[in-house]
Structure 1
């Protein structure tokens, strides 16, 4: 292994030799004052970032030392064109060395990087331009920097927002005259993070260097990182789990990481597992539930995973960013156990951008654990009133990370005992500084240093269990109904899968609140659509006891956030505005 590391260290830039997994540089678990100091330290070693093409072949190794050199040059270019400390620099977060150098270049220049999303398949050009325009209006940057291939859309968004636009190839051609770099302090803002669903009312989460590094240290301790660990990621860098967990954490904790672009994963999901297989040192990789689900679905019953993959060294299969589905996790185990994957590799976690990233992490090796919760505990209705007992499996999301406190509270703020469902609140050094230039929204969720996460859940034996988002809850006749329970019920019918269904509350013409269920339907036969609608109606009624508005819609209609999660709020808005058009079906 030492010989391999020597080759990696002695090979010139751009040679197709991955950065080292092992390193003689003593590992420090993010115990730095600032993010720039973290990269300064990592650059003294042999690890780094590695970018792969759509087929999973290494296209660009990028040692931390090279990243640091490029970032300092970028900082000097930015300073030469007038960028000052505290300026916001918006940047389209494409996974690649250009964005990595730009992000750290802005940090070294004392300004605030603001990662913004790439276009998604839903909504098209105009929707993307509007999203970027609105986010630019929120963060008020001095400029927007983007990949050359997005000059048309990103440049138009910049023009509409009256912000200077520049592609990063242009920036790279600017002179970089020597100048002293500003010295950041731990309590300075390190970056602004927008949630993946930010559209009409975006909230820029302001995170200090101190908060970031505290969370990265807690994250690495929670995962028990060891010298032989190496990471693979396809997560987007404009989402907190991708940006913080799979880009900034490897720098601050000196971990080599191999990347697929998110769009390449979307086209060929199994390329993720191919990359884990080829990089035999891979031990760490994260994904939301849907990533595991799509991989399991892509495996045909005739194909043996053991003939293509070797997942035996994957010791931390992280799961977060959306509701964790035990049935999906079991499906992944069933599909890939023959390739050496073990169920206890799963590492559920819970977090959000307002806490920098991690709030709780399952201790490694404990895997997926569930508790069965009676439906009436979730709905607020006394047992036996109007329905038989039903249970939902709630996944254990681990223990609070180091320095983090978690409480469950009533709506009025009263703390609740163990196993009582309420609002999740958390407090610790990694809680955000606040929402940028939005004191009202900050005051609404930050009280005496405690963050109202907006999520519902409970504590059991020191572990955190998440039930759902409070804002997604459907309340009809005083009863609480969780949209995912309705969605999961429909998924049990033949022909439907995760992501095909969105449930939310609407107001009927008569002024009553009722659930609406949008279901993507692939059948073009009207008789079959009528049959499916009635089957869905009966299934939902059997689970909730309610009559719902059932609408069948074309495939690929439901909107998703930039991180791939279903956006119920956007689906509701598009449905009510008429932008989502259901199939016309005879009554």
Structure 2
């Protein structure tokens, strides 16, 4: 690691001495060994756009080997799990790679800043560590007290900071992985009560990074990546870190919390280093547009003419936000042809489909009736009909088979909306240590039920929504069960009294909403309940929800008596589920 000063030079964009290989390796160890022969690497910036750390892939490899020896020396066995707090730093990168040299599985988990209160964060950490049966944890020094509380009672091989791990004795020899060994676990849902760790093999990872690098973004020699995405998120971990390693690209990282404070730092780093490739959920582009509108001098010194690909993913893509971003930043060189819509999910390692490079956003006009959860044949906008813009998420990568299926699991023809099913090398092996949940989404033949609704047209996939109940806020997934569980901890709120759903906001973004059955009649008591529920949910899950109190026994149920969130959402949006207080 190079500590930056005023004269620090970032790793180069070009490296003519090392021919690019598109992840055609057997394992992640083989990939880092090859990247280490070149000059490229990772660079870490602060919110002002100043470089604070420079890490060549060679330095990352060397540090990773040293860490791997320490893990073996500490007694970690092949297949053991180490929770790895995902700080945007050289330490995280090196430790993640060091785990590969010991055949230990890193499990990236979020920093406290990405969550609500301390209590909710500690609970999340405990749940995820128990879910993956973690054998150890590595976290920054400033988290020592939180880690001690979260790991109390757990039987760990070792817990500490990078410095603590490096004090250990070296092991006799490294433990190298095989292609079908697991490389890491990825928590896809953000769930605290019902965590699901996606088990990703080396073969799956390298197949996916190969497809994304070669066919998805069509990497060229002059490409340089810039990212603020967190390393605990699949798009940040696989898309901007592991793909840049396995395809030998230099990358510039801004910590997520720094981006949240100063969103335009993203654009400053792109400008300074002539970044060509970047990715974000819709809300990242939205934040930058809003911030630029706040100050007339906001865009002074910025130049986005180098951006070849501005990828969009992780949540429903909103064309209105993309248009506003282009209108705002066109004057400093940004081209709307740089937009590259995509579709992916952690259960497929990351990438599934990509739009056509250089084409920008392509849309269909689709009947709004699709949003009710009923299956309709696709009908492009007819005069007078209520329609919605649906973005073309592009062509599936060559490795995938894809089917759109109806409720009876029968494949549908082109142009009909149904559940998206996928099969390919990049599909996960399982939800770690959770065979029941695995069986619910993964068939014996290897078909994954993504839980997303979409249709095919001319070989491309269009995603229209989700059949599953998951709520996405600012690119982060939240299971409604978590939100409901938090609300049900309040005295007087019974299990089954609460339904967590999402509704369209002012700009078509998802807004989380709790519908809670209420037996109180006094207005003051109702107001107190609303405030208590908001506070409880925020502290437990980090989600800021709207609250609507509804009459007792008004939430819809299935024939077996289970809560139906889909029906509750439809009834609420149709005005058939009246609130007694908000």
TM-score range, shorter chain: 0.7 to 0.9
Where do 1:29-428 residues align within 5 Å? 29-120=22-113, 122-163=115-156, 164-176=158-170, 179-221=172-214, 222-280=216-274, 282-300=275-293, 303=296, 307-379=300-372, 380=374, 389-428=385-424
Q: Match of 1:20?
A: 12
Residue of structure 1 equivalent to 2:449: 452
* Change in CA separation of 1:192 and 1:460 when aligned onto 2, cut-off 3 Å: same
The higher-RCO structure (CA 8 Å, 6+ apart) is 2
Indicate the larger mover: 24-33 or 395-404. Answer: 395-404
What are the Cα deviations for residues 410-432 of structure 1, in whole angstroms up to 9, with x where unaligned? Answer: 12211111121110111101100
Any idea what SS the aligned residue of 1:471 has?
A: coil
Q: Structure 2-normalised TM-score?
A: 0.81
1:461-476 mapped onto 2 (5 Å cutoff): 461-472=458-469
Deviations 1:364-403 (A, max 9, x none): 11111111101224433989xxxx7311111111110121
Partner Cα distance (2:547, 2:68) in 1: 41
Unaligned runs of 5+ in 2: 378-383, 472-499, 524-529, 550-554, 556-578
The one-character-per-residue Cα deviations of 1:332-352 (angstroms, maximum 9, x if unpaired) are 011100010010100111101
What's the secondary structure of 1:332's corresponding residue?
Answer: helix
Total equivalences in the alignment: 505
1:502 is matched with which residue: 487, 491, 512? 512
Superposed displacement of residue 110, structure 1:
1.1
In the TM superposition, residue 453 of structure 1 has moved relative to its aligned partner by 0.4
- Structure 1 residue 156: deviation in Å? 1.3
2:476 maps to which residue? none
How far apart are residue 468 of structure 1 and its match? 1.3
SS across alignment from 1:32: coil
- How much does 1:572 deviate? 9.9
Distance in 2, matches of 1:303 and 1:558, equals 38
Aligned-pair RMSD on alpha carbons?
Answer: 3.2
Shift of 1:506: 6.1
Q: Which runs of 5+ in 1 are unaligned?
A: 1-10, 475-481, 510-525, 527-550, 577-583
Match of residue 544 from structure 1 = none
Q: Which moved more, 1:115-124 or 1:32-41?
A: 115-124
In structure 2, how many angstroms separate the alpha carbons of the residues matched to 1:124 and 1:305? 32
Give the CA deviation at 1:197.
Answer: 1.4
SS at 1:110 equivalent = coil
Q: Deviations over 1:552-571 (max 9, x none)?
A: 99999986999x9x798x98
Structure 1 residues 40 and 382: alpha-carbon distance in aligned structure 2, compared to 1, 3 A threshold: closer
Give the secondary structure class of the aligned counterpart of 1:219: helix
Partner of 1:530: none
Is the 1:347–1:364 contact (alpha carbons within 8 Å) kept by the matching residues of 2?
A: yes
**SS where residue 347 of structure 1 aligns?**
strand
